[in-house]
Amino acid sequence: MCTPLGYNIKSSRTLFRVVNILKHLVSDTDKLWETVLGISEVSENISQNGFFISNRSFRRITGELGLRMKMRAPEYLSKDFWATQSKFLRDKQLYVIRTGRGRFALVNSKIFPRPYLQLSTSNYTELECSAPSRFRCLKEAFDEHSQENACIEQLGFLGIFEQIISELFSTSKYCIGPRGNRGSKFDVYLENIKQEKTRLFSYSGQEELDYTLWVGDNILLFEAKQTNSPSGYLDLGWHKLAFPANRFRAYPQLNIFPAYLVRRLKEVFIFVFPKFLFHETGIILNDSRLMMPRKTYRIDLSNQTKLTTG
């Protein structure tokens, strides 16, 4: 059994130590945010505007408060899932967004709905794996490698992407496009409960793109996650898709369709979302119209009995 910190649990004593470490880190995180919220400038801005935008780095602020961070600053600010947001912040109906260069925003979720997905796996289309018969060794090699990148390539090998592309765009031909890390700069907007848009901050920092499939002027833009648990990982932060989408904003003729791929043991779900829409000089981080999947697919990687002559 592996923990989020990468510990391999082989004994109850080790498990006890790891649980204590995790509890300590959680309490440390909550204590930090409780102290930051105690700053009058922070609490007043949240009370008056529904958000606070820091113009100083998180490390500098905590240092001025005499607080010692037990993790790197991104561990406090960059939250890929709603469940990983500080419990203290969630209890206060708040969430943190990284704004780049070690800075952050604190936002009231009662005014600006949270920019996190709330996905369901109750309704899906089952896709069949088809392994080329003359690549038996490659099939076995993929089965032995469960990393995110290998999982993405495995789905292409098994004909999954061809099936999705065929249903969505009436063709099975596609090209693999750019991926990887890149520095970007763009404006970030939030919608309030009245659907009024507010420019929150200008993001300047790294964003990561896991995979893209190109079908003419259509792009499937992937964020991929995996877990050794049979459940969870359905509350992804929309920034994991919206931030990398911005790198293609200079091509107005493109139709960008975000897609979230999550592997849970031998089960894979792919959620395909509506066409991504930009707003003025950037993105809307919590546009609920874009955050509901148009299609959900399920793949059972334990069922690869069908062979093709490819």
Q: What is the pLDDT of residue 136?
A: 83
Residue type at position 17: R
* Percent of the residues in the chain that have a pLDDT greater than 70, as a whole number: 89
Residue 276 DSSP symbol: P
H runs (alpha helix) in the chain: 12-37, 40-49, 58-64, 73-77, 87-91, 136-144, 148-157, 160-169, 239-245
Return left, alpha or beta for 298; rule: phi > 0 is left, psi -120 to 50 is alpha, else beta: beta
Q: What is the mean pLDDT of residues 244-263?
A: 96
Q: What is the mean pLDDT of residues 146-163?
A: 90
Q: How far apart are the first and last CA of the chain?
A: 37
Q: What is the pLDDT of residue 23?
A: 40
Residue 10 predicted with pLDDT over 90? no
Q: What is the pLDDT of residue 209?
A: 97
Q: What is the pLDDT of residue 77?
A: 95
Which residues have CB under 8 Å from 66's CB, separation 6+?
none
Q: What is the mean pLDDT of residues 61-90?
A: 93
| Average pLDDT over all residues of the chain | 89
Residue 118 predicted with pLDDT over 90? yes
- 101 burial (CB, 10 Å; 0-12 / 13-18 / 19+) is exposed
Q: What is the pLDDT of residue 225?
A: 96
Q: How does pLDDT run across 21-44, given as a tens digit for each residue?
A: 334 444 688 989 999 999 999 999
State the Cα–Cα distance between residues 111 and 200, nearest whole angstrom. 13
CB 68 within 8 A of CB 35: no
Which residues have CB under 8 Å from 310's CB, separation 6+?
132, 133, 134, 135
State the Cα–Cα distance between residues 289 and 179, nearest whole angstrom. 26
State the Cα–Cα distance between residues 132 and 152, nearest whole angstrom. 17
Q: Which two tokens stand for residue 146?
A: 């469960």
CB 89 within 8 A of CB 32: no
pTM to 2 decimals? Answer: 0.88
* Percent of the residues in the chain that have a pLDDT greater than 90, as a whole number: 74
Q: What is the mean pLDDT of residues 14-25?
A: 41
Q: Which two tokens stand for residue 39?
A: 């700053």
Residue-wise over 179-215: b if at least 16 C-beta within 10 A, else e? beeeebebbbbbbeeeeeeeebbebebebebbbbbbb
Pairing of strands 131-132, 307-308: parallel
Residue 107 predicted with pLDDT over 90? yes
Strand order from edge to edge, sheet including 255-264: 125-127, 295-300, 267-272, 255-264, 218-227, 211-215, 175-176
Query: Does residue 307 or residue 282 have the better pLDDT?
Result: 282
Q: What is the pLDDT of residue 21?
A: 36
Residue 138 predicted with pLDDT over 80? yes
